[in-house]
Amino acid sequence: MEAVLTAARSWSEQDPDDETRTELEALVAAATGDPVDAAAVASLRERFSGRLAFGTAGLRAELGAGPQRMNRVVVTQAAAGLARFLIDTGRDRSVVIGYDGRVNSDVFARDSAEVMRGLGLEVTLLPSALPTPVLAFAVRHLGVGAGVMVTASHNPPRDNGYKVYLGGGDDGSQIVPPVDGEIAAAIDAVAAGDVRDLVRATDYTVAGDALVQAYVDATAATVPAPRLPADAQPKVVYTAMHGVGWETARAVFAAAGFAEPLVVPEQIEPDGAFPTVSFPNPEEPGAMDLSVARGVAVGADLVIANDPDADRLALAIPDGAGSFRRLSGNEVGWLLGWRAAAAFAAGSPEASGALAASIVSSPALSRVAERYGLEYRDTLTGFKWVSRVPGLVFGYEEALGYLVDPAVVRDKDGISAALALLDLAVSLAAEGRTIADQLDAFAAEFGAFASGQVSTRVDDLSRIGEVMAALRSSAPSSLGGLDVTGVTDYSDGVAGFPPSDILRYDLEGGARVIVRPSGTEPKVKVYIDTVASTPAQAQALVDALAADVRPRVS
């Protein structure tokens, strides 16, 4: 325990934040008091048991003191490590930094700007809290060596994070191995010293409104002029879920000629406390209750939601019974992929292109690719992989992420995806049809697909390894009454994929089940996909598989 106390005191001395320094000093006092506070001892041991791992998702964790939390010391070390990586590898010594509306996002962004500028980089800081897609756009638009976005996306309210993009040959995509390991090593080297020894400088550039306008103009240009005037377009309700999406989305919709959506006033302004949702993720039960209630009250045709940093999109449509049903990420992916493939084939009939989705997303998109003569590519989970597919026309991930125009942003973008959906909804309305009608048309054209998910949250991370080990040691011969026809263990290294902690079970009739640990949350996640003659039959198979799988991963 003495080593932990020494590390804690050393950390406290270099911490520039009064709040986290006071928090740590209080823990040390409680852990060394009489009597000793066992909870304080346990907390200190956990906080100083190692460092936040910097990986392909960058950093993401709860705010707090110590190397296992997000705080100004950790962020300063990360910024200096990234800067040294750019310098040591001969990359362009320039970076653009963005931040969302979470607690301390602006502080972490300014710390990063000062530290990177102090190390000699050309630094541009975005002018205000803005969506992640604006930062991803800026990396390419400004032609810089790297981009940093301070965000925890849709994580719990007390979390924050640090996401890294690379320019040059990486073309504005998120980092992938082995670069993440190289940056992590550079951060570790910085962490061996004291952040007070790092030179800071404040003569960095703050971007003007022209950069945001460039994103608005480029995004608006991804759709044609609406086929209906504003007063004849479907009625739309929009929520930013206490995030930073609204002002940018509003500008994009207007620039493209679409009617301004009605908003959920309680959730439209950025608020890092997220007062109306316990978990600011549109996928979570209850997260869209306010927006659905607003949709019912105004008789909306669509309800759309961005997550707090607006890189994801959720859609709900009238259910015919006086309320709304949220479409799954796969359903939205099918519709947007079909739209993109048809437009690409019509505009460039001789050109080659590709549709892509993560391996945990529905296989339905492969049917669309086949229908339009496009290549189809499965990728590992994460848009860092989807965005790198050569010749990409459209890519998506079932976790509400969609890349609708790779020429503008090489990452998921909830604002351009919302615009694409508005374009689809207006085009259908001009023909007297709805999004629900288009889902029926998809099933008739490509097959009745259904998908589902089982997630088990754990308090002890070792439980995740135990679940995966148990599945590997005793593979089921059937699931949900369907025979298992094949098992693929991605930890062995599958052609085209690096070794990954993923298990895939192929089942009779074209169904499949995929199990993996979450990359951003303490969960085991199970993805279920089926195809049948009718949507009801496909959903019944999903329900049976979910009932069988749930106890196996609990």
Catalytic residues: 153
Residue 411 CA, chain-centre distance (Å), reads 9
Q: Identify whether the C-beta of residue 447 lies closer than 8 Å to the C-beta of residue 531.
A: yes
- How far apart are the C-alpha atoms of 385 and 262, rounded to whole Å? 35
Cis preceding-peptide flag for 67 (omega within 30 of 0): no
The residue type of 252 is V
Rounded to 5 degrees, φ, ψ at 36 are -70, 135
Q: What is the DSSP secondary-structure string of 368-413? A: HHHHTT-EEEEE-SSHHHHTTSTTEEEEEETTTEEE--TTT-SS--
Strands (E), 74-231: 94-99, 122-125, 146-150, 159-166, 173-174, 205-206
Q: Which residues, listed in sequence order, are joined to residue 173 by a DSSP beta bridge? A: 166
Residue 115 corresponds to which tokens in the numbers above?
């530290």
Instruction: Report the half-sphere exposure of 157 (CA within 13 A, side-chain side).
Output: 13
Q: In the 3-class helix/strand/coil scheme, how is 297-347 assigned residue by residue? A: HHCCCEEEEECCCCCCEEEEEECCCCCEEECCHHHHHHHHHHHHHHHHHHH
DSSP 3-state percent helix, strand, coil across the chain (nearest 5): 40, 20, 35
The SS3 assignment for 467 reads helix
Cβ contacts of 132 within 8 Å, gap of 6 or more: 98, 100, 149, 151, 153, 163, 309, 310, 311, 411
Helix/strand/coil for 58? strand
Q: Cα(212)–Cα(124) distance, rounded to whole angstroms? A: 13
Paired strand residues for 165: 147, 174
What radius of gyration, in Å, describes the C-alpha atoms of the chain? Answer: 24
d(CA 539, CA 217): 41
